[in-house]
């Protein structure tokens, strides 16, 4: 008789202690990530999430300023999102041979919210899939080979999206990627024009504000001029609002800051799922959609098994309604102004903070990457410390000393991103600023942070890793 395979049940998983969770993650999921999080003591499991906060198994609460990399504009477990999902329980969630009333409704809502003639939506399950869909649309529409992207951009980690992502660290190990990509500096119109003028560009893809690049704002007039150039050179303009969308920057979409502006394609994801369901969406005009996929021969040229499933659509419908009903964009704008002003106040006092920038509640605090600080840590542990670890140490200090969850931006580890749920209170913003001030103060200082965050442990791991 064969032995019964021993499998864990959900309730077993939820009752595992921290040590066991770490062991399972290390052995069966991602050993390197487990080590990285353990180094800065960020490997604890959490039992509850509500609004801006999460609670660990001991009942300690943490303020979440990372928000699932910008997926929690509405906070953790918003009751309106949970209710919407509850309403579709019992309906078929996946039935590709039928038309979903929910997908049609969410498509209509998005068309109503988005600027210009953006109307037809392709639903998928993540931001990177939305970008893939946009790149394929540009190819099928223009039959041109080339795509232009911006330095330090981030568009996802699947092959096509990665090809147009502007950080070498993420690209290099996976080449060859899409061959016909050129990278121009973000905000530089003349280099963009030079690329587009070659006449072989299917698309220009750009974030309205670069997120993972370090919360980089475009110079005034940049997107408008890029729009004009794309039209002139018959190139599709793809705006990636995966992270900046749904109120984050003080507008429903960051591009709404520019009156009358509309791209040919927009990519959405993250908070569209209401902080609960995975979702992505690529929206384009009816003209472009029909040119690409109109008619029964072409309507399934691009598709996704889970795209448009009932639970994700219900969450999306509830999310866009919340956005409008609670005017979350306005809340983000007002709270963002308050936060930026307070952070600029502490920046002037401490050398360690090099810059504070952002829009709405999409805020970056750039810490000094001066060699002096890195060298001091390196001298202490006798091992080279890279910028990536510096960002982790600052995030680790916020977490361990102040119960604040934050992280650095993926393409610029000197920048700590602050993107809390848009429902954050002014008291919580004050606490966040006071905590950052403590991290930046010379008394705590970089070496203080390093010591508290277990730099000794970090040193030995770096040595073992041969860095």
Ligand X SMILES: Cc1ncc(COP(=O)(O)O)c(C=O)c1O
Query: How far is Cα 58 from Cα 417, in angstroms, rounded to an integer?
Result: 27
Among 67, 119, 128, 435, binds ligand X (CB under 6 A): 128
Least distance in angstroms from the C-beta of 373 to ligand X: 27
391 DSSP β-pair partners: none
Q: Which stretch binds ligand X (CB under 6 A): 230-238, 239-247, 309-317, 374-382?
A: 239-247
Nearest residue by C-beta to ligand X?
Answer: 127
Other CB atoms closer than 10 Å to residue 80's CB: what's the count?
Answer: 15
CA 208 to centroid of chain Cα atoms: 13
List strand residue ranges (DSSP E) for 242-335, in order. 265-268, 280-285
Among 64, 132, 195, 212, binds ligand X (CB under 6 A): 212
Query: How far is Cα 242 from Cα 126, in angstroms, rounded to an integer?
Result: 9
Q: Which is nearer to ligand X, 34 or 243 (CB)?
A: 243
Among 75, 127, 166, 263, binds ligand X (CB under 6 A): 127
Least distance in angstroms from the C-beta of 71 to ligand X: 8
Among 78, 146, 155, 347, binds ligand X (CB under 6 A): 155
Q: Does 131 bind ligand X (CB under 6 A)?
A: yes
Among 133, 201, 242, 374, binds ligand X (CB under 6 A): 242
Phi/psi at 442 (nearest 5 deg)?
Answer: -60, -30
Q: Which is nearer to ligand X, 156 or 413 (CB)?
A: 156
Give 71's contacts (C-beta < 8 A, 6+ positions apart): 269, 270, 271, 273, 275
Q: Does 207 bind ligand X (CB under 6 A)?
A: yes
Would you say 186 and 130 are in contact if contact means Cβ atoms under 8 Å apart?
Answer: no
Would you say 233 and 196 are in contact if contact means Cβ atoms under 8 Å apart?
Answer: yes
DSSP-derived secondary structure letter, 197: T
Q: Does 216 bind ligand X (CB under 6 A)?
A: no
Task: Mark 54-93 with x for binding to ligand X (rule: CB under 6 A) and - for no binding.
Answer: ---------------x------------------------
Would you say 202 and 141 are in contact if contact means Cβ atoms under 8 Å apart?
Answer: yes
Query: How far is Cα 255 from Cα 395, in angstroms, rounded to an integer?
Result: 29
Q: Does 154 bind ligand X (CB under 6 A)?
A: yes
Q: Does 156 bind ligand X (CB under 6 A)?
A: yes
* 156: alpha, beta or left? (left if phi > 0; alpha if psi -120 to 50): left
Q: Does 152 bind ligand X (CB under 6 A)?
A: no
Would you say 106 and 99 are in contact if contact means Cβ atoms under 8 Å apart?
Answer: no
Q: Which is nearer to ligand X, 43 or 240 (CB)?
A: 240
Q: Which stretch binds ligand X (CB under 6 A): 113-121, 151-159, 258-266, 329-337?
A: 151-159
Q: Under the rule (CB under 6 A), what is the footprint of ligand X?
A: 69, 126-128, 131, 154-156, 207, 211-212, 240, 242-243, 269
């Amino acid at each position: 008789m064969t032995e019964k395979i021993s499998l864990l049940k959900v309730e077993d998983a939820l009752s595992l202690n921290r040590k066991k969770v770490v062991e399972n993650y290390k052995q069966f999921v991602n050993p390197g990530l487990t080590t990285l999080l353990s180094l800065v003591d960020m490997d604890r499991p959490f039992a509850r999430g509500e609004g801006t906060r999460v609670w660990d198994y001991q009942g300690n609460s943490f303020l979440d300023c990372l928000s699932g990399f910008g997926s929690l504009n509405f906070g953790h477990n918003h009751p309106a999102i949970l209710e919407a999902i509850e309403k579709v329980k019992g309906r078929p969630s996946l039935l590709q041979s039928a038309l979903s009333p929910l997908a049609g409704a969410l498509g209509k809502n998005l068309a109503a919210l988005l600027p210009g003639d953006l109307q037809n939506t392709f639903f998928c399950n993540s931001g990177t899939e939305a970008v893939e869909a946009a790149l394929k649309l540009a190819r099928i529409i223009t039959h041109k080979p080339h795509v232009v992207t911006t330095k330090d951009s981030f568009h996802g980690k699947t092959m096509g999206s990665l090809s147009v992502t502007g950080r070498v660290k993420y690209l290099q190990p996976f080449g060859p990627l899409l061959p016909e990509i050129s990278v121009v500096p973000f905000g530089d119109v003349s280099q963009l024009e030079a690329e587009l003028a070659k006449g072989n560009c299917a698309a220009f893809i750009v974030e309205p504000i670069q997120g993972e690049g370090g919360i980089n704002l475009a110079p005034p007039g940049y997107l408008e001029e890029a729009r004009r150039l794309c039209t002139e050179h018959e190139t599709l303009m793809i705006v990636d609002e995966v992270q900046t969308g749904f109120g984050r920057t003080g507008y429903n979409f960051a591009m709404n800051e520019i009156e009358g502006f509309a791209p040919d394609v927009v990519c959405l994801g993250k908070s569209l799922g209401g902080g609960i369901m995975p979702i992505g969406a690529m929206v384009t005009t009816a003209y472009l959609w029909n040119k690409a996929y109109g008619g029964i021969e072409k309507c399934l040229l691009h598709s996704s098994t889970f795209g448009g499933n009932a639970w994700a659509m219900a969450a999306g419908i509830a999310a866009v309604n919340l956005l409008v009903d609670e005017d979350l964009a306005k809340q983000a704008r007002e709270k963002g102004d308050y936060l930026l002003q307070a952070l600029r106040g502490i920046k002037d006092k401490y050398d360690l903070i090099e810059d504070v920038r952002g829009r709405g509640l999409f805020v970056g605090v750039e810490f000094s990457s001066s060699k002096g600080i890195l060298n001091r840590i390196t001298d202490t542990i006798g091992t080279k410390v890279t910028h990536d670890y510096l960002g982790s140490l600052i995030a680790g200090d916020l977490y361990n000393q102040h119960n604040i969850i934050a992280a650095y931006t993926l393409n610029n580890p000197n920048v700590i991103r602050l993107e809390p749920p848009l429902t954050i209170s002014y008291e919580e913003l004050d606490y966040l600023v006071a905590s950052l001030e403590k991290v930046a103060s010379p008394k705590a200082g970089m070496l203080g942070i390093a010591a508290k965050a277990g730099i000794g442990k970090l040193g030995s791991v770096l040595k073992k890793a041969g860095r």
